[in-house]
Amino acid sequence: MSRLKRMTVVVSVATVWTKPQSPRPIDEPALTYPVELREWLGCMTLRDKLDLCLANRVQTQILYGTSVLVVEEREGWSKVQIPQQGTRKDTLGYPGWVPSCQLVVEAESPLELKRAEVISDKAWLYKNPSERLIELSYLTSLPMLEANNEWVKVQTPEGIGYLKGDDIRWVDGPLASKAGEAHVGQGIVEQGRRFLDLPYLWGGVSSYGYDCSGFAYAMHRYFGILIPRDASDQAKQGTLVDKEQLEPGDLLFFAHEEGTGAIHHVGIYMGDDQMIHSPETMKCIEIVDLSTCKLSKEHCVSRRYWK
């Protein structure tokens, strides 16, 4: 394609695949419009979930209403780049393939509009105050048109919609500001606590399931801090922090070969030698003691993004 096309995600969570041939028959619920995310997650066995990583099937995910760049279209698939998800793989944003039915042409929206950002774990988008449309993930963000005490009228990729006021916060611009927070790092930890016991999902960046770096990425994004998408990139930016200077909200990185090999994991430091993280496919988001967990010998570097 000679010209990039701006498109918008029109399903609650779009999974980004390595190539159009990556999905298996069992992944069909994740490829449709509307997407059947709960059905997809519920039908996969542990082996199926492990295979998402081991067979290099999934790259990342994108939330409803997110703008992407389409660089190629092929037989019902679109190759996209995600500007909000920084990566060394491509300067324009994280690359991968999405079913074309999960995207629509991006409509122009006045930049001065405030945005309604979901801060509940999940929230329903309504066609009108009595008719549900789709269930949205934490941190889904849509332009806000009007608001009263109970409802917020928003612009969606498909027209007008409504969110309950209790499920959202108002954001000036594309990201929330961290201004006014007494300790943003502690806030990152407290946001993370909300998702304790949420099952791990390879490539996940939504409240339906996070992988380790997706969890760190989302908890920072709540405070308007955009960090790289992958742990290996996250470990190379931010401010280097010595072990003796760690504070809640700092990121801890772990590498193979007792910390000397390739980085494979990231967690969020909580203070008191504890870490909250999304560990691996067979587990859920948990809190561990750094001195006794199996990762203790693999800690290789720490970074701070919140100040």
**What per-residue confidence (pLDDT) applies to 70?**
97
Q: What are phi and psi of 165, to 5 degrees?
A: -60, -30
The two domains 114-172 and 184-304 share their CATH topology (first three levels equal) = no
- Report the share of the chain in percent with pLDDT over 70: 97
CB of 206 within 8 A of CB of 62? no
Report whether CATH 2.30.30.40 matches the domain 5-105.
yes
**What per-residue confidence (pLDDT) applies to 224?**
94
Question: Is 277 tagged catalytic?
Answer: yes
Q: 157: Cβ–Cβ under 8 A, 6 or more apart, which residues?
A: 8, 9, 10, 64, 65, 104, 106, 107
Q: Where are the domains of the chain?
A: 5-105, 114-172, 184-304
Report whether CATH 3.40.30.10 matches the domain 114-172.
no
**What per-residue confidence (pLDDT) applies to 3?**
75
One-letter amino acid for residue 74 of the chain: R
**What per-residue confidence (pLDDT) applies to 110?**
59
**Tens of pLDDT along 79-124?**
999 999 999 999 999 999 999 999 999 987 655 679 999 999 999 9
| Set 43, 256, 264, 277: catalytic member | 277
Hey, what are 119's tokens? 């801060």
**Tens of pLDDT along 204-235?**
999 999 999 999 999 999 999 999 999 999 99
Q: What are phi and psi of 27, to 5 degrees?
A: -90, 0
| Set 101, 183, 265, 299: catalytic member | 265
**What per-residue confidence (pLDDT) applies to 149?**
83
**What per-residue confidence (pLDDT) applies to 107?**
82
**What per-residue confidence (pLDDT) applies to 37?**
97
| Set 212, 220, 293, 299: catalytic member | 212
Low-confidence ranges of the chain (pLDDT < 70): 1-2, 109-112, 174, 179-180
**What per-residue confidence (pLDDT) applies to 108?**
75
CA gap 17, 77 in Å, rounded: 10
Q: What are phi and psi of 189, to 5 degrees?
A: -60, -45
**What per-residue confidence (pLDDT) applies to 55?**
98
pTM of the model: 0.96
Question: Is 264 tagged catalytic?
Answer: no
Question: Is 293 tagged catalytic?
Answer: no
Q: What is the CATH number of domain 184-304?
A: 3.90.1720.10
